[in-house]
Chains A and B, each alone.
Chain A
């Protein structure tokens, strides 16, 4: 059974497809910060975290990588 890395050890945020929309999830946390209805809104919503020094990784529906936005810090 896989276990997760300890919380807060990473500065990456993932935009992940979910049944109920698109989740913005900081890596290492147990829950998504917020679920958006569509991907564009999720990318916009993650911008603040990017300003604060997180890389934002935008996933495709199959989990592969669509875009890797480097942090602005």
Chain B
């Protein structure tokens, strides 16, 4: 954990919902970040019951040069469902850290804001009007495309194209299911897999792909 914490330049804090519905977007998002050579940091990467969640969030934000905030779930989808405040709250902490912490690291921070639709967030969060955000329409392929575009615009103009990353993700998923099945994992194990375990499988797969090229 210490090495990860010290890797400020490559750390990407992900601020997103952790419900079952979002997993179809979270998995390709994690894959894209790792594919592009960065290190995803997410609140569910550890779950020490003795650690206050707010403290953990602040720590992840401080340790990450890049943040991705997905505001696509701030609107309640059905009657009597609460809208989600955690995502805009954590976006506020991140922007506050960048603005007020004032040290060298905080000045290097950058963020990507994702939403389902392009201008919808302005109705709930008008203070952010005029910010350049990207929308994914709740489409797994689109979250790969928009995230990759942001990294090209801000980090690496030579990144592989989005179609290539999306197809790699699909190939990874095939290997992932096949290998886990061989290891005795059942559907529920795959569905409920903890995020750190899933990240580790992506890392192993990407390492394997790179070593195949080197051979």
Mark out the residues of chain A between 23 and 59 whose CB falls within 8 Å of any chain B CB in the assembled complex. Answer: 23, 25, 27, 30, 32, 57, 59
Q: Is B167 engaged at the interface, CB distance under 8 Å to the other chain?
A: yes
Q: Is B177 engaged at the interface, CB distance under 8 Å to the other chain?
A: yes
A30 to B165, CA, bound (A): 11
Q: Nearest-CB distance from B19 to chain A (Å)?
A: 14
Q: Is A4 engaged at the interface, CB distance under 8 Å to the other chain?
A: yes
Contact of A3 with B24 at beta-carbon distance under 8 Å, contacts A12-B174, A14-B174, A25-B167 already known: no
A2 touches B169 (CB 8 A): no
Mark out the residues of chain B between 164 and 194 whose CB falls within 8 Å of any chain A CB in the assembled complex. Answer: 164, 166-171, 173-174, 177-178
Q: Nearest-CB distance from B151 to chain A (Å)?
A: 11
Contact of A18 with B163 at beta-carbon distance under 8 Å, contacts A1-B36, A2-B210 already known: yes
A63 touches B170 (CB 8 A): yes
Question: Chain A residues in contact with chain B, CB under 8 A?
Answer: 1-6, 9, 12, 14, 16-19, 23, 25, 27, 30, 32, 57, 59, 61-65, 68
Of the candidates B37, B166, B174, the one having the most CB atoms from chain A within 10 angstroms of its own CB is: B174
A2 touches B167 (CB 8 A): no
A6 touches B213 (CB 8 A): yes
Contacts of B141 in A (CB 8 A): 17-19, 61
A-B pair count, CB < 8 Å, reads 74
Contact of A2 with B140 at beta-carbon distance under 8 Å, contacts A16-B166, A62-B24 already known: no
A16 to B178, CA, bound (A): 17
Using CB atoms, name the residue of chain A closest to B36.
Answer: A1
B206 touches A2 (CB 8 A): yes
Name 11 extra pairs, CB < 8 A, besides A4-B213, A5-B212. A1-B160, A3-B210, A5-B213, A9-B212, A18-B141, A30-B164, A61-B140, A61-B141, A62-B27, A63-B169, A65-B174
B168 touches A65 (CB 8 A): no
